[in-house]
Amino acid sequence: MSDIAFLGAGNMVAALVDGLLARSPGSAARLSCLGGSGRTAAALAARTGIRHATSLPDLIAPADLVVIAFKPQHLAGADPRLADLTAGKLVVSVLAGKRTSTLARVFPRARNLVRTMPNTPAAIGAGITPYCTLRPLAAADLALVEDLLSACGQHLPLAEDLMDAATAISGCGPAFLFEFVAALRDAGVAAGLPAETAQRLATETALGSARLLARRQVDPEALRNQVTSPNGATQAGLRRMEAMNFRDLIRQTVLAAKVRAEELSADS
């Protein structure tokens, strides 16, 4: 493993560090972090055994790969020393909505720039992270990026003009799914179930159904049809969803998220 520096020490960095250490327990000495206040970085270092850097030069100088993970709104006011400190380094950004062209103004001498969009299931190693690059990655750098992102689950290379759409699906998607599960829970309560029972049934049904879909590798409609008997209870519910334009609602939800993602990217 190459030395990796994390500029930022929040939840996403913690997920990456935990994933990397789970696969390579002896690699803590090759990882370092530095946070804005120092408190989160110190806590992460104390919990995981990675190095808590004392300054930007101390953090970045030994590293070959630098992960930028502070708050996206802080990029415009980032320390100007980063331009020289990251010269020749591979820079990976987890800053939502920040285009590679914007990153290139802050890290102009990096050997390459990678824009990623992790999602919250990454915290348990179950995420999927779309990513794009400023220039095509050399084979060794591609291996570094994929090794890093694999610590949080799966990864998917995309053209940058697809990143805002990907944000609307995988970045925002967990919130949409959680909202659906909450609605399923509330519907269970309306149907007469105790709230705790409805919560458990809704959660485990969503979890099991997603696992089944991932394992079978078929269209979701195929699995839907396996549950649906003619004139049965499932069909009655599906007919109501169709009458209420459920798919159109989801389409509008995703498109609204994509438009906002585009606006945020443009603000970069």
Q: Which 3 state secondary structure label does DSSP give 67? A: strand
127 CB-side CA count, 13 A: 27
pLDDT, tens digit, 9 for 90 and up, residues 229-255: 999 999 999 999 999 999 999 999 999
DSSP element (H, E) containing 155? strand 153-157
Q: What is the pLDDT of residue 99?
A: 96
Could you give the 3-state DSSP secondary structure of residue 154? strand
53-81 confidence digits (pLDDT tens): 999 999 999 999 999 999 888 999 999 99
Q: Which fold has domain 4-163?
A: Rossmann fold (3.40.50)
pLDDT confidence tier of residue 265, bands split at 50, 70 and 90:
confident
48: closest CA among 22, 69, 70, 68? 22
- Domain map of the chain by residue range? 4-163, 171-267
Other Cβ atoms less than 10 A from the Cβ of 209: the count is 14
Query: Distance between CA atoms of 39 and 48, rounded to whole angstroms?
Result: 14
Segment 18-23 shows an average pLDDT of 90
CATH fold for domain 171-267: ProC C-terminal domain-like fold (1.10.3730)
What pTM does this model have? 0.91
Closest C-alpha among 47, 49, 61, 57 to residue 11: 47
- Binned at pLDDT 50, 70 and 90, residue 1 comes out as low
Coil, strand or helix at 6: strand
